[in-house]
Structure 1
Amino acid sequence: MYVAFDQLPDQARVWIYQASRPLAAEELIAVLPQLAQFAEEWTSHGRHLRASAEFLHRQFLVIGLDESLAGASGCSIDSSVHFVRQLEQQLGAQLLEKSHLGFLHEGKVWLLDRRELRAAIADGRVQPDTFYFDNTVATKGELAEKWPAPVEKTWLARYFTGQEKK
C-alpha cells in the first residue's frame, strides 16, 4: 500500500537509484503516478507492502519500505528492479548503473566517474568537506541524517587518510 514518503518510519528500509542526469520537472511530474502505483501494488508473498517512492534532487529515485508490517522478499526486490528498468527506458536515463559517484556542488548534483576519483581529489575538486551522496544508506533515518554528507564522514574519507587501496 502506498504511503507518503514522510509517513514512513525512520527505520524504513530504502533503496537509492542515481539517475545519469537530472530529470526535468515535466519528466518528474509524468512519473509521479507510476511511483505511487508501484508502491500501491508492491507485494511480498501475496502481502501488500507499506511503501513509497519519490525522486530527490531531481536525480535520485528513492524507494522506501516499512518492514515492520512485511519485509521485502527476493521476488519483491526483483519486481522493484524490473520497475526501475521500466523507468530507465521511459526516461532515457540510467538508474541502475553504479560507476558514478554523486556530489553536491553549489546546489547541483555533480557526477564523477569512480575511475576519476583520485584525480579529482588531487586537483581539489573533491575535498573532505565536499558533500557526497552515499547511496548505500539503508534506512530513511540515515537518508535524513547522512545523505548527502561531507566526504570525510563517509567511506570516501579513507582517500584523505592514506588508507585507500592502491
Structure 2
Amino acid sequence: MFVDYSTLSEESKVWIYPSSRKFYPQEIEGLKEKLQIFVDQWKTDDADFKASFQFLHNRFIVFLAEENSELTNADLDAQVAFVLQLQQEYEIELLDKMNVCFKQGEYTQYKELKDFKKLIKNKAVTGKTIIFDNLIQTKFELENYWEVPITDSWYNRFL
C-alpha cells in the first residue's frame, strides 16, 4: 500500500534508479502518477505492506518499502519489470549501474564511470564535488549519505 514518505521508518529499504537524462517538465506529472499506481499495487497480497516513492532532482526514481515488509523475488522482479517499462516509454536508461551522478553547480550530471574518471584526472571535478551514492540501502542513508563529497564516498578511490 502506498503511504506518505514521511511515515516510513529510517530503516526502510531503498532502491534508487538514476535516469540518463532529466525528465522533461511535460513528463513529470504522468511519471509521478505511474509511480504512485505501481507502488499502490506493488504487493497487494500483504495488507501490512507499506511503500512509497520519491522523485528527486527530476532525475532519480526512489522506491522505499518498510523494513519489516517481506519482499519476495517476484516482488523485486515486478519492480524491475516496471522500471524496464519506464525505460522503454521514456527512452531513458535507469538500470545502468556503471554511471556516476554528481552536482556541477546547480545541475545534476550523469556520466559513465570511465568518463567520470577522466573528469577527475583532468581536475574538472574535485574531492569536494557532491556525488549521489546510489548504492545506499535505507531511508536514513538516503537522507544523510546520498549526497556527499567525493572524499566521503566510495568514489574517493579515483582521486
What's the TM-score, normalizing by structure 1?
Answer: 0.89
The residue number in structure 2 matching 1:146 is 145
Find the residue that maps to 1:43 and give its secondary structure. coil
Query: Is 1:99 aligned to residue 98 of structure 2?
Result: yes
Amino acid at match of 2:135: T
- SS of structure 2 residue aligned to 1:89: helix
Partner residue, 2:84: 85
Aligned to 2:157: 158
Amino acid at match of 2:149: P
- Offset at residue 123 of structure 1 (A): 1.0
Aligned mates of 2:93, 2:75 — CA distance in 1: 21
**What is the alpha-carbon distance in structure 2 between the residues aligned to residue 11 and residue 148 of structure 1?**
18
CA deviation after TM superposition for structure 1 residue 116, in Å: 2.0
Runs of 4+ in 1 over 6 A off after TM superposition: none
The answer to whether the aligner puts 1:56 opposite 2:56 as a matched pair is: yes
Aligned to 1:9: 9
What is the RMSD of the two structures over their aligned residues, measured on CA atoms?
Answer: 1.4
Structure 2 residue identity aligned to 1:22: K
The aligned residue for residue 35 of structure 1 is 35
For residue 127 of structure 2, give the secondary structure of its aligned residue in structure 1: coil
Cα separation, partners in 2 of 1:136 and 1:91, compared to 1, 3 Å: same
What is the CA distance between 1:108 and its match in structure 2? 1.0
Q: How many equivalent pairs are there? A: 158
The residue that corresponds to 2:67 in the other structure is: 67
Cα deviations by residue, 1:88-138 (Å, 9 ceiling, x for unpaired) = 122111111222210011121111211123321121112111001110000
**Which stretch has the larger CA shift, 121-130 or 136-145?**
121-130
What amino acid maps onto 2:34 in structure 1? Q
Contact 2:9 2:67 in 1 (8 A): no
Q: Which moved more, 1:129-138 or 1:95-104?
A: 95-104
Residue 136 of structure 2 aligns with which residue? 137
C-alpha deviation, 1:35, in angstroms: 0.9
- Whole-angstrom distance in 1 between the partners of 2:52 and 2:38: 8
Query: SS of the residue aligned with 1:77?
Result: helix
Aligned equivalents of 1:21 and 1:10: distance in 2?
A: 29
- Which one is further off, 84-93 or 135-144? 84-93
Match in the other structure for 1:163: none
Identity within the alignment, %: 29
Distance between the aligned counterparts of 2:117 and 2:98, measured in 1? Answer: 14
Shift of 1:67: 2.1
Measured in 2, the distance between the counterparts of 1:89 and 1:40 equals 22
Structure 2: runs of 5 or more not aligned: none
Encode CA deviations 1:22-70: one digit per residue, 9 max, x unaligned. Answer: 00122111111211111111118x32521112310100100000022x2
| Amino acid in structure 2 at the alignment position of 1:84 | V
